[in-house]
Structure 1
Amino acid sequence: MLRKFAVLALAPLFACGSSTATSTDTDTASSTGETGTSGTTGEPAYRATIRRTSYGVAHVQADDLGSVLFGQAYAFAQDHVCTLADQIVKVRAERAKYFGRGDGDAHLTSDFTYLALEVEQRAQRMWDATPADVKVAIEGYAAGYNQYLRDTPPGELPADCAGAPWVKEIEALDLVRYYVDLGLLGSSNQLASYIGTAQPPGAPLTMPGGPLRGLGTLTSGGFGSNGWALGADKTTGGGGMVVANPHFPWTGELKLWESHLTVPGEVNIYGVGLMGVPGVLIGFNDAVAWTHTFSSGNRFTFYKLALDPSDPTAYLYDGTSRPMTKKTFEVEVADGGTVTRTMYYSHYGPMLNVDPIGWSTDIALTYRDANIDNPRLIEQFLGMDRAKTLDEFKAVFQTVQGIPWVNTMAADKAGNAWYADASATPQLSDEAIAGWQAAIEDDFLTGLLYQQGGLVVLDGSDSTYEWVDSGDARAPGLVPFAGVPQLDRRDFVFNANDSYWLANPAAPLEGFSPLHGSERAPQSPRTRINAMLLQNDPRYAAAGDDGTFTLAEIQAAIQGNHSLTADLVLDDLLARCGAHPVVDVDGSKVDLRTVCGILGAWDRRFNPDSVGAVLFREYLAAYSGGAVLDRGSLFHVPFDPDDPIGTPHTLIAPAEGQADGALVALGEAARHLAEAGVPLSAPLKQLQRAPRGSVEIGVHGGFAKEGIANVVGYDGGLNSTLLPKVPRPPSIAGTAGLTERGYVINYGSSFVMAVEFLPEGPRGEAFLTYSQSEDPRSPHFRDQTELFSRKEWRPLLFREADIAADANLRETVVEGG
């Protein structure tokens, strides 16, 4: 057994450069393997074998946990060193130090936010509470990242960070700072512009805060995903089956990276993880497979404070004035000097600056975060990776309770399926919930933020609204594992970012706190198409005549690109178009016969070659996102909570004597496309393009309103790195995000995996849509993007014989420490 040393204890040795790893370029090394010596007289602390197979997938083997994660980090850094280096600068509150104040003082705001959140102190507490084996894992990961930097001259790093002074070796505690931030992804992480600019009335610094409208995405983080877990009653082979389809950014720190980790007798896990995180977040081992979707529940609660009339840095609490806590922080700036700022806190948490509310003499907003102290994040992930049965997998959730912000769908080789939303959730008393729900109707701000995104605003002046501690949760005030929504099935469970309510429509989960999400409420078209596919709805017959899924059938279902919205309205629209083929649009006559002919021939899918998909998308641009949820401007039959998958439906008829709004919207779509120079018959792939470097690749998939499981799109707010981002020209007025470059794609389906358990073990196929490496010099920079564009799944090489047989196998041994 190799010796394991704490990375921090070896800092002087690292500085002397007396330990080196032996490695060769994984794309050119001999397939028989190349192994070198350490270059030291002692035994290295870590030693791992990295085998790269087709598409750059890293299979890492070692004799102990620290070494396998040393190897994982080394391989990860080969593909994404710049991304993790950037994030370490962010969480160390050093952006202004290296990059200056930033536009609109953005870097200063970021730094003061991370100082105000006390990430360093929380990281130390997280580290102190971390079990010894998890410390070994994090130390090994930090050592592997550092070893890559020692082995790679700064000028040979990818262009985004080559020679950059901010790319430096790290300590284990730097990674823990980053994990604190990841735990806050559904809460404080997205409040930087609200936290870092919060100053009391009369302060010399006045800056616009984060926008009020921006709070509407905080409960979901702007993320989407589909997750399916099928049991024996729904699979042809009788074992469990899992489909992972997380919708995440295609650039930045929230990308996923693929690896396979093996320590004989301890762990054999395949899947993807977030940048810089040890282990696997979504994947499978010999007995269990699982995936996640972002939870729609609340990870925090806002508190509206009634300020003391004599002092805006004090607030009333149960009738008594309570002073805020204040702390002064200092940030170093690149152009010399420092900037200091005093930040303020209620007993709930940091103060917020919400534009245009700000922080007035009368009212201020603060919040409490359920994940602000989550020391068990990495322990949770590694525990799941090492589970040998579904019962062991569930036990990790019960004993560790470290899940921060996701639903979980899992299935095992025996054909059991399980769902849980075990995300950290505030626990309120029945009295507090009733008072909050009454305030939704009576208080403008409380009602507005609830309507925007299910956000909870409580009365911070009344102790009734404090979180309730039951003594059996990970932290005081959280819902314990026994109280979270969960469901065991033998047919299926799923989630598509609506609440837990319909994890299986045949067994609705009801009676939970509304902070977990809504019950008996309208579902998104994507949730509905997910359920229809899994229920083998006759319109799609995804499981065939026998009603059970093979691997090929489940792959075809998740990537079928059926548009539910089109199926619900298009027949009516075409009938009305045939009856009234000419429509008045802003005083001009538009002939719809060609338009309706194209839509009539359309396959109602958003596949690469689908003709009519673009036209239908632009037709839907006339309707708001909420129009697809209930009766209104689009649908005639309203949502029925007793038929939540089947409703709403049917195109609404025009009011008597009024123009047919649906036909007008269709005419506007045709006119907008003509003005943009886009042929009405353009196939989707001609306009929907994913830039990968200098190459743009036509991809399939749809937008949220279109009711498609396979979502793609554009998002400019989910990448916090300072690395180059995918630009998008301004949208053409009246369109669904169409630009002079078409529909620019930088978000959506990311790691798409389908895996089944057979008697001989797990078998699966997948693609990582944006490919394995972020370095344009790598052959794995866009190879899987091209696979995705053609819907060509690749096998997941899990068995040793399959790895050894891969024609592109390259092996490297790395050691150090």
Structure 2
Amino acid sequence: MQYTRPACLLAAALLVSGCKIGGSGGGSDNDTSPSYSATIERTTYGIPHISADTIGGAGYGHGYAIAEDNLCVLADAYVTFNGERSRYFGPDEQAAIMGTFGTPTNLEADFFFRFLLDEQQLDNFTTAQPDDLLELSAGFAAGYSRYVEEIQDGQHPDRHLDCRNAEWLTTITEADVLRRLVALNLAASSANWVEEIAAAQPPSANARMLRSLPSEEPEIDSDRFLLGREAGIGSNTFAFGADATESGGGLLFANPHWYLLGVDRFYQVHMTVPGVMDISGAAIMGAPMVLMGFNDNVAWAHTVSTARRFTLYQLQLVSGDPTSYVQDGQNVAMTPVEITVQVQQGDGNLQPVTRTMYRSEYGPMINLSGLGLPAWGNQVAYTLRDANLENTRAFQNFFAWDQAKSLDDFYNITREYVGIPWVNTTAIGRGDPRALYSDITVVPNVPDSMLATCLVPGAGEAVMAVAPGLPLLDGSRAACDWQTDADAAQPGAFGPGNLPSLFSRDYVANMNDSYWLSNPENPLTGYAGIIGREDYEQSLRTRMGHTLVRDRLNASDGLNGFLASSDNLREIVLNSRVYSAERLKDSVLGVVCDANGPEREQQACQILGSWNDTGNLDTVGAHIWTALWNRIEDLDLYATAFDADDPVNTPDGLSADSSLHDQLKVAFTETLADLENRNIALNAPLREVQFYLKPGEQIPQYGGEGNEGYFTVLRNSYMHIVEFPDGEPVRAFTLLSHSQSTDPTSPYYADYTQAYSDKQWLAFPYTAEDIAANLESSIQISE
């Protein structure tokens, strides 16, 4: 890539001093605002390596680089987080890509963000941040804003065609960066309830709502409580200790299954400030620091945790006053907040829409009628307390990890901040024989002992049945408030002594089940149900993950040796084995295949019988099994029930029940009919039927969904495999399946995606020498 310098610069200049100065930095010689300088060197796939003398400069380079790659997506997101979607796009449009916040209408999103991310919330968060994090954030804002002003000045003329002339493309400030961080904190809590919080109104106002939630009483959908309100968002990770690796040192695999589109996707970046940090990895777009990565001493990975980050409370309302409630015999008034949103009309003019929203002492009121619970009436109402709305330490924790010196240092940081908002962590360190698993995170302190007296009768059990560990508590008694451990980092939270972690010399893993089987030989037990379940059936993806490790360590996977290495791990994690097929395919075919059956069914049976039970691009049959599995997975399939003493291998075997067999035959016939109706050939290789979700591109994609038992899933996003060779710099291999840029005019829009499709890992250039050897462009920017 050749960088096109601004026309106002001297041709010989390498230093881009900027035709216009924007954001929070720069000015005249008499200006006391911050000054920033950074070098941005791009290597293969456009990965920016940013070097600066100050933390602010590192943020400046990051902000500029990510704007080069993802300007329109970020600009749209800042409109969202500022609660201004209705102003620019009208009230009724449903945002196509909202990531963790779902797809509410613009008006509901605006009221939600204006309410939860208000000035008081932002001020509390900002005041709690240390100077270095504020410096990093201010630099990020200045770098992003500098690029915006270059665009608005007519530079980079062929780039960002979707937004370069948009009214909503504006510069940002440090406050915008911090507001984005607060929003990111809420991904596994309040973000699940945008419409329900925005629409929570007392009964007298319900009729005036511009948009109502369902009034019928549907069954509670368990997916409704998942991060992003959809299945499939999660991750895999392996961390091997010295006893399980060929090198005798640690080995780490990071494998988020994260958003492929929108602002919540990953951005790969490397930032260096001499003597302070030299950190590489992935940031969720808009976060100025690396959130998952490696330096020359530690490497870590994340998976979405099962712990609950909020609780619901049922309030007993004061008779005749639905905006007050009773607690311990005392009347408590809710806090009203009047919010006005500017709404674009059909003629382009703006009209204000005002709504009064309410908070209890716990947090925002919430309308749960869509879950079959009563709407806000005259007797009861519901409210939500979100531990991560009270968590100001999350990004201090991440930023401290970026600078960690050893695995012990990393672990001590984790226990000191207890700030990680919603993910498990695995980690390894240079020269350390151990691998670490940790769910030392922000969890409401609701021990199991509280449930007998504080769970709302009936409704509480119903919620827990579909969302294990999530309590609906009695808000009429202060005795049901969250407790606080002596070592807690914030009131109402568990301290690290009551949160699970494990060091192991062989391996730890997590595939989005609970902490329980981080290492099946050393189960973690005795923790509160709000953190996760124990002794329960694991997902097929979890079982596949542990099976991959076991097959490696007992040399049954067909590869050389019996220990893990970077080389064999890069092959194993992308091998696209299908656990459901390995366990049940032959038995199912024995039931549904009839030598005298219809010709199309015989063809399908022959294809499936020859299929090697993987979802690689050239395999034939994977798409048939996927379509069949999606029809049969909820049937009572198994002959052997789940056994907590053998959780990796059970349940197993196909039941001999004749009624099940009849259901399988019907499902097989319907599956083949459906494929025929969709004009999908039975003998098509996977590369002809499964493609990467990337607008304007059609790149074949291997793998499948976790519910089928794929470890190699379709939502693979950023990935790294890291080790610390003795006497050598950190050695890492990376992939970013969705590529660095969201701009179709960028050379980095689909190149990394093609590399992922080809299973071509990138040997990451970490050292200055490796960066120089792989250099594609280099600029310096300052103001």
Q: Indicate yes or no: 2:768 matched with 1:788.
A: no
Q: 1:109-155: per-residue Cα shift (whole Å, max 9, x none)?
A: 11111222143221111111111111111111111111112222366
Q: Per the alignment, in what secondary structure is the counterpart of residue 572 of structure 1?
A: helix
Comparing 113-122 with 33-42, greater Cα deviation is found at 33-42
Among 338, 344, 362, the alignment partner of 2:352 is 338
Distance 2:780 2:545 in 1: 44
Q: In the alignment, which residue of structure 2 is the partner of 1:268? A: 278
CA distance in 1, matches of 2:683, 2:555: 25
CA deviation string 1:55-89 (max 9, x = no partner): 10101111111111111111111011222222222
Distance of aligned partners of 1:537 and 1:56 in 2 relative to their CA distance in 1, 3 Å threshold: closer
Q: Counterpart of 2:632 in 1: which secondary structure?
A: coil
Name the aligned partner's letter for residue 781 of structure 2: V
Q: State the 1:266 CA deviation.
A: 1.3
Q: What's the CA shift string for 1:76-109, capped at 9, x where partnerless?
A: 1101122222222222222222222224892221
1:432 to 1:313, Cα distance in 2 relative to 1, 3 A: same
Find the aligned partners of 1:38 and 1:451 in 2 and give their Cα distance.
55
Partner of 1:259: 269
2:55 maps to amino acid? L
Distance 1:318 1:667 in 2: 61
Identify the match of residue 436 of structure 2 among 388, 406, 418. Answer: 418
Distance verdict in 2 for CA 1:483–1:593, change over 3 Å? same
Cα separation, 1, equivalents of 2:544 and 2:195: 36
Q: Contact 1:80 / 1:775 at 8 angstroms: preserved in 2?
A: yes
Alignment of 1:131-150 (within 5 A): 131-150=130-149
Distance 1:659 1:134, change over 3 A: closer
> Are residues 553 and 802 of structure 1, via their aligned partners in 2, closer, same or farther at CA, if it must alter by over 3 Å?
same
Mark the runs of 5 or more structure 1 residues left unpaired by the alignment: 1-21, 584-588, 713-747
Deviation string, structure 1 residues 592-623 (Cα, Å, up to 9, x no partner): 32211111100101111111101101111213
Q: Which amino acid aligns with 2:758?
A: R
Identify if the C-alpha distance between structure 1 residues 543 and 378 changes in structure 2 by more than 3 Å, giving closer, same or farther. farther
> 2:97: which partner in 1?
none
Is residue 469–residue 529 contact of structure 2 (8 Å, CA) maintained in 1? no
Instruction: Report the equivalent of 1:801.
Output: 769
Task: Tell me, yes or no, if structure 1 residue 63 matches structure 2 residue 53.
Answer: yes
Residue 798 of structure 1 and its aligned partner are, at CA, apart by: 0.6
What's the C-alpha RMSD, in Å, of the aligned pairs?
2.6
**Structure 1 pair 51/144, CA: closer, same or farther in 2 (3 Å)?**
same
Contact 2:459–2:472 at 8 Å: present in 1 too? Answer: no
Whether 1:375 and 2:392 are equivalent positions in the alignment is: yes
Please say if residues 219 and 298 of structure 1, whose CA atoms lie closer than 8 Å, have aligned partners that are also in contact.
no
**1:707 matches 2:714:** no
Match of residue 108 from structure 1: 107
Q: 1:218 pairs with 196, 216, 225, which one?
A: 225
Aligned length: 741
Q: Which amino acid aligns with 2:526?
A: G
The aligned residue for residue 522 of structure 1 is 537
Alignment partners' CA distance in 2, 1:478 and 1:755: 33
- CA separation of 1:504 and 1:24: change in aligned 2, threshold 3 A: same
Q: What is the correspondence of 1:268-287 to structure 2 with a 5 Å cutoff?
A: 268-287=278-297
- The SS at the match of 1:536 is helix
1:233 aligns with 2:233: no
1:25, distance to aligned residue in structure 2 (A): 5.7
Q: Give the alignment of 1:32-47 within 5 angstroms.
A: 34-37=14-17, 42=29, 45-47=35-37
Alpha-carbon contact 2:117-2:183 (below 8 Å) kept? no
CA distance in structure 2 between the partners assigned to 1:469 and 1:348 by the alignment: 15
> What does residue 292 of structure 1 align with?
302
- Are the aligned partners of 2:595 and 2:602 in contact in 1 as well (CA < 8 Å)? yes
Q: Tell me the CA shift for residue 307 of structure 1.
A: 3.0
Write the mapping of 1:513-552 to structure 2, written as runs, cut at 5 A: 513-536=528-551, 541-542=556-557, 544=559, 546-552=561-567
Asked if 1:482 is matched to 2:484, the reply is no
Match of 1:349 in 2: 363
The percent of aligned pairs where both chains have the same amino acid is 35
The Cα shift of 1:484 comes to 1.1
The answer to whether structure 1 residue 404 and structure 2 residue 431 are counterparts is no
Equivalent-residue separation in structure 1 for 2:172 and 2:709 (angstroms): 44
What is the alpha-carbon distance in structure 1 between the residues aligned to residue 552 and residue 407 of structure 2?
Answer: 29
Q: 1:212 to 1:137 in 2, by over 3 A?
A: farther
**1:432 matches 2:439:** no
TM-score (norm 2): 0.90
* Residues 82-93 of structure 1 aligned to structure 2 (within 5 Å): 82-93=72-83
Q: Any conservation in 2 of the 1:703–1:711 contact (CA below 8 Å)?
A: yes
Question: Structure 2 stretches of 5 or more lacking a match?
Answer: 20-26, 95-103
1:565 aligns with 2:580: yes
1:9 matched residue in structure 2:
none
Provide the secondary structure at the position in 2 that maps to 1:616. Answer: helix
Quickly say closer, same or farther: Cα 1:421–1:678, change in 2 above 3 A: same
1:228-264 CA-partner distances (Å, limit 9, x unpaired): 1111111111121111110011110111001111111
The secondary structure found in structure 1 opposite 2:414 is helix
What code does the residue aligned with 1:50 have?
A: I
| Displacement of 1:425 | 0.3
- Cα shift at 1:563: 0.5
Query: Aligned partners of 2:312, 2:393: CA distance in 1, in Å?
Result: 24
**In the alignment, is the contact (CA less than 8 A) between 2:641 and 2:650 conserved in 1?**
yes
2:292 and 2:302 in contact (8 A); partners too: yes
What's 2:700 paired with?
698
Match of 2:673 in 1: 671
Q: Could you tell me how far apart the structure 1 residues matched to 2:343 and 2:153 are?
A: 24
Letter aligned with residue 778 of structure 1: S
Distance verdict in 2 for CA 1:447–1:332, change over 3 Å: same
Say if 1:582 and 1:592, in contact at 8 Å, map to a contact too.
no
SS where residue 569 of structure 2 aligns? helix
2:638 to 635, 639, 643: 635
Q: Which amino acid aligns with 1:134?
A: L
Q: TM-score, normalised by structure 1?
A: 0.86
Asked whether the 8 Å contact 1:73–1:278 carries over to 2, the reply is yes
Alignment of 1:107-256 (within 5 A): 107-153=106-152, 156=157, 157-203=159-205, 204-206=207-209, 207-209=211-213, 213=220, 216-221=223-228, 222=230, 223-256=233-266
Counterpart-to-counterpart distance in 2, 1:593 and 1:479:
58
Are residues 611 and 503 of structure 1, via their aligned partners in 2, closer, same or farther at CA, if it must alter by over 3 Å?
same
1-side partners of 2:225 and 2:416: how far apart?
28
Shift of 1:488: 0.5
Residue identity in the other structure for 1:618: A
Kindly state the Cα deviation for residue 654 of structure 1 after the two structures are TM-superposed. Answer: 2.8
1:729 is matched with none
